[in-house]
């Protein structure tokens, strides 16, 4: 029975121990405990945990043989698929630092990122190999091509096919000198408000955040066994949505983005089977849930909207699902309710994080006896502090219930940006990172996000937060999605303009929406204009591209 106001799940401590081991210790631990469990599934192809560790280890030996050493940057340029995680773990087991490259990026951008990170090698895929080779322009020591769908391969000119590369090599990890302070990943930020920058995510950041996420969602605690990190269940573990060594998770977002990569690693950490979907298709996603008994998935609100729009969703057996998680964009009260109806046994969990904190800073309490507050993104995870600071005086924390900039401190806070010391010094201070997001804490420590500092509008001298207006709009029946941007006007500043995706049969009008929002906000926050659109422009990870919406206004 849920206890009103109860925040911390029963049986979990307030702090965790974080082993001083590389993040590959999590894979090694899981492969020791459940070697024959299916780790990865892509269609009819599978890899067990023993096979995943074995093939990643063989790749690591091959990379070492070709000169990759501790700290060398190796690019991983591949779409979602069975062997993407083999490439990820193989590079790490070789002692390398992974640089994730998006298959959607044009060649000039890829070439720039290879130069910026000083990559020495690349692991690619048949679908990306031509672009990898062109971007490399002869500067890389080695280009390795992973197996493609159904075992197909296609080594580029100057590249090497995976099976040829690893033939005869050991299936146990090589001995390397990598520690918790070494960089595991260079993760390019999304770049929705500026040029993407490579964030230095250390091994200890991965270990900390994966343990924070896994222990919070599965009711487990870590133990060290030599070079391995293993998890053990607490007595109350059955109350948690993720099940150690038993869950089946679905990966629908692109693995070249930190959000999906972390959820893949979460599945590895808790010994779950990760079902890897290719390009997102809503009906196929429901097919995969039914076919494989998926009990855990995470994706962006735009994808959840698409799932809810599948015509026969009410006829599907979705009873296996225990948790639906999100964090790329605000969900809204109406979506929470709709998902709860469509997935009757699932808890809907909206968390908060960013690449600069590895992945996750806050998350709702996940057990039935705890309180989840819709409209918030939960509470700080183990050993994590969240402060709301004054927008003009960043050294001053503001009281509960007051809007300000969100600052985060914890073991998951990363080491800043590669090659950008000034921006790093500005954003990372004394263990804290300033997020650029605006929010408020309530008296119990639940965090609500109200906007982005760079998106904040100033109208007649008042601060207007788009997210607040977006949540009011999405709470209206018939509104599927909403995004608010500013239209510049002389003297007054920026007037809020709402782009809205609505149900056609709802019969909504712009005037009606403006009036409903106006009844709930002060005059300076009123929406001046509503633009109905069929869909909102989003990144591959589901974040709304407000720059494109502003361009539409400029050209209207």
Q: Quick: pLDDT tens for 499-513.
A: 999 988 889 999 999
pLDDT of residue 284 exceeding 70, the answer is: yes
CATH number at residue 512: 3.30.300.30
User: H-helix or E-strand containing 350?
Assistant: strand 347-350
Rounded distance between C-alpha atoms, residue 545 and residue 485, angstroms: 11
Strands 462-464 and 479-489: unpaired
pLDDT of residue 149: 64
Q: How confident is the model at residue 272 (pLDDT cuts 50, 70, 90)?
A: very high
169 and 231 assigned to the same domain: no
Q: What is the structure's pLDDT at 150?
A: 46
Cα four-point dihedral sign 209, 215, 221, 224: negative
Q: Is residue 252 within 8 Å of 297, Cβ to Cβ? A: yes
pLDDT tens, position by position, 185-227: 999 986 544 578 999 999 999 999 999 999 999 999 999 999 9
In a domain, 15, yes or no: no
**Torsions phi, psi of 118, nearest 5?**
60, 45
Helices vs. strands in the chain: H and E counts, helices first: 15, 28
Put residue 151 in one of left, alpha, beta given phi > 0 → left and psi -120 to 50 → alpha.
Answer: left
Rg of the Cα atoms in the chain:
23
Asked whether residue 188 is domain-assigned, the answer is no
Confidence of residue 155 (pLDDT cuts 50, 70, 90): very low
Please check whether residue 196 lies inside any domain of the structure: no
First to last CA, the chain: 54
Q: Does 524 reside within a domain?
A: yes
Average pLDDT over residues 301-307: 89
CA distance 43 to 206: 28
Are 397 and 464 contained in the same domain?
A: no
CATH code for the domain of 124: 3.40.50.980
When mean pLDDT is compared over 146-150, 303-307, 404-408, 541-545, the highest value belongs to 404-408
Within a domain: 191: no
Q: Are residues 358 and 407 in the same domain?
A: yes
Please indicate, yes or no, if residue 164 is contained in any of the structural domains.
yes
Q: Is residue 533 part of a domain?
A: yes
The answer to whether 173 and 405 have CB atoms below 8 angstroms apart is no
Which is it for strands 228-233 and 220-225: parallel, antiparallel or unpaired?
Answer: antiparallel
Does 412 lie in the same domain as 527? Answer: no
For residue 156, what pLDDT is reported? 39
Query: What would the pLDDT profile of 434-481 be if each residue is shown by its tens digit?
Result: 999 999 999 999 999 988 888 888 888 788 888 889 989 988 999 989
Q: Name the pLDDT band for 159 (thresholds 50, 70, 90).
A: low
Partners of 457 in the β-ladder: 464
Q: Are residues 469 and 421 in the same domain?
A: no
Q: Which of 386, 419, 450 is the last residue of a domain?
A: 450
pLDDT at 206: 99
324 with 303, same domain: the answer is yes
Backbone angles phi, psi at 122, to 5 degrees: -145, 145
Strands (E) located in 156-227: 160-161, 183-188, 198-202, 220-225
Residues 243 and 307 in one domain: yes
pLDDT score at 555:
76
pLDDT value for 364: 97
How is residue 177 written in tokens? 């000198």
Q: What is the pLDDT of residue 157?
A: 36
- Report field, pTM of the whole predicted structure over 0.95: no
Cα separation, 169 vs 147, in Å, equals: 17
| Whether residues 282 and 423 fall in one domain | yes
Mean pLDDT value across residues 325-351? 88
What is the reported pLDDT for 116? 96
The count of domains in the chain is: 3
Q: Identify whether residues 402 and 315 lie together within a single domain.
A: yes
Give the pLDDT score at 151. Answer: 43
Which residue is it, tokens 């951008």?
109
Assign 368 a pLDDT band (cuts: 50, 70, 90).
Answer: very high
Note the pLDDT tens digit of each residue in 3-44.
Answer: 455 899 999 999 999 999 999 999 999 999 999 999 999 999
The answer to whether 111 and 88 are in contact (CB under 8 A) is no
- Between strands 160-161 and 142-145, the pairing is parallel
For residue 185, being part of any structural domain is answered with: no
Q: Which of 450, 483, 504 is the last residue of a domain?
A: 450
CATH number at residue 373: 3.40.50.12780
Q: What are the contacts of 45-54 at 24+ separation with CB within 8 A? A: 45/82, 45/150, 45/151, 46/82, 47/82, 47/86, 49/268, 49/271, 52/27, 52/85, 52/86, 52/89, 53/27, 53/28, 53/89, 53/171, 53/173, 54/171, 54/172
**pLDDT (mean) for 79-107:** 96
- Please check the confidence at residue 331 and state whether its pLDDT lies above 90: no
Of the chain, the percentage scoring pLDDT greater than 70 comes to 96
Task: Say whether 313 sits in a helix, a strand or coil.
Answer: helix
| Same domain? 229 vs 325 | yes
Distance (Å, whole) CA 402 – CA 465: 13
CA distance 278 to 81: 7
Enumerate the β-bridge partners of residue 404: 439
More confident residue, 161 or 233: 233
Q: How far apart are CA 357 and CA 187, in angstroms?
A: 11
Rounded distance between C-alpha atoms, residue 143 and residue 124, angstroms = 7
What is the enclosing helix (H) or strand (E) of 191?
A: none
Residue where a domain stops, chosen among 450, 472, 493: 450
**Domain interval for residue 80:** 24-178
Whether 121 and 138 share a structural domain? yes
Residues 266 and 378 in one domain: yes
Give the separation between CA 340 and CA 333, rounded to whole angstroms: 11
């Amino acid at each position: 029975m849920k206890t009103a106001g109860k925040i911390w799940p029963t049986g979990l401590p307030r702090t965790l121990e974080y082993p001083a081991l590389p993040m590959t210790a999590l894979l090694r631990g899981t492969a020791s405990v459940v070697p024959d469990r299916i780790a990865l599934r892509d269609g009819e192809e599978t890899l067990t945990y023993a096979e995943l560790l074995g093939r990643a280890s063989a790749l690591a030996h091959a990379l070492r043989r070709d000169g990759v050493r501790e700290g060398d940057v190796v690019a991983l340029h591949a779409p979602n698929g069975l062997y993407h995680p083999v490439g990820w773990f193989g590079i790490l087991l070789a002692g390398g630092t992974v640089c994730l490259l998006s298959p959607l990026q044009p060649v000039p951008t890829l070439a720039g990122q290879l130069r910026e990170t000083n990559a020495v090698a690349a692991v690619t895929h048949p679908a990306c190999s031509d672009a990898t080779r062109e971007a490399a322009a002869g500067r890389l020591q080695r280009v390795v091509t992973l197996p493609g769908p159904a075992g197909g391969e296609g080594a580029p000119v100057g590249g090497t096919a995976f099976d040829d590369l690893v033939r005869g090599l050991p299936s146990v990890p090589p001995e390397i000198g990598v520690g918790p302070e070494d960089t595991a990943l260079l993760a390019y930020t999304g770049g929705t408000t500026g040029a993407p920058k490579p964030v230095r995510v250390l091994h200890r950041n991965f270990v900390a955040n994966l343990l924070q996420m896994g222990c919070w969602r599965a009711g487990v605690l870590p133990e060290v066994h030599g070079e391995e990190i293993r998890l053990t269940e607490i007595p109350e573990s059955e109350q948690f949505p993720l099940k150690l060594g038993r869950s089946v998770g679905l990966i629908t977002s692109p693995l070249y983005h930190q959000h999906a990569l972390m959820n893949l690693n979460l599945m590895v950490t808790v010994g779950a089977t990760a079902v890897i979907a290719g390009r997102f298709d809503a009906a196929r996603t429901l097919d995969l849930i039914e076919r494989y008994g998926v009990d855990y998935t995470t994706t962006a609100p735009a994808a959840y909207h698409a799932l809810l729009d599948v015509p026969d969703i009410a006829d599907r057996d979705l009873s296996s699902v225990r948790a639906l998680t999100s964090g790329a964009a605000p969900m809204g009260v109406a979506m929470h309710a709709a998902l709860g109806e469509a997935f009757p046994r699932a808890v809907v969990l909206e968390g908060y994080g960013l690449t600069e904190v590895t992945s996750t800073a806050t998350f709702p309490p996940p057990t039935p006896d705890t309180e989840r507050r819709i409209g918030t993104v939960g509470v700080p995870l183990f050993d994590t502090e969240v402060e709301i600071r004054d927008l003009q005086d960043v050294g001053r924390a503001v009281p509960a219930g007051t809007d300000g900039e969100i600052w985060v401190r914890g073991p998951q806070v990363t080491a800043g940006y590669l090659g950008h010391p000034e921006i790093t010094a500005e954003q990372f201070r004394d263990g804290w990172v300033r997020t650029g997001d605006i929010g408020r804490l309530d008296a119990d420590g639940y965090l609500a996000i109200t906007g982005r500092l760079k998106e904040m509008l100033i109208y007649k001298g008042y601060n207007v937060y788009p997210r607040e207006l977006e949540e009011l709009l999405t709470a209206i029946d018939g509104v599927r999605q909403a995004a608010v941007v500013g239209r510049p006007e002389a003297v007054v500043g920026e007037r809020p303009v709402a782009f809205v995706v609505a149900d056609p049969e709802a019969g909504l009008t712009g005037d009606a929406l403006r009036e409903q929002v106006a009844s709930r906000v002060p005059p300076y926050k009123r929406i001046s204009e509503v633009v109905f659109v069929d869909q909102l422009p989003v990144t591959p990870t589901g974040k709304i591209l407000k720059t494109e919406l502003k361009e539409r206004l400029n050209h209207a």
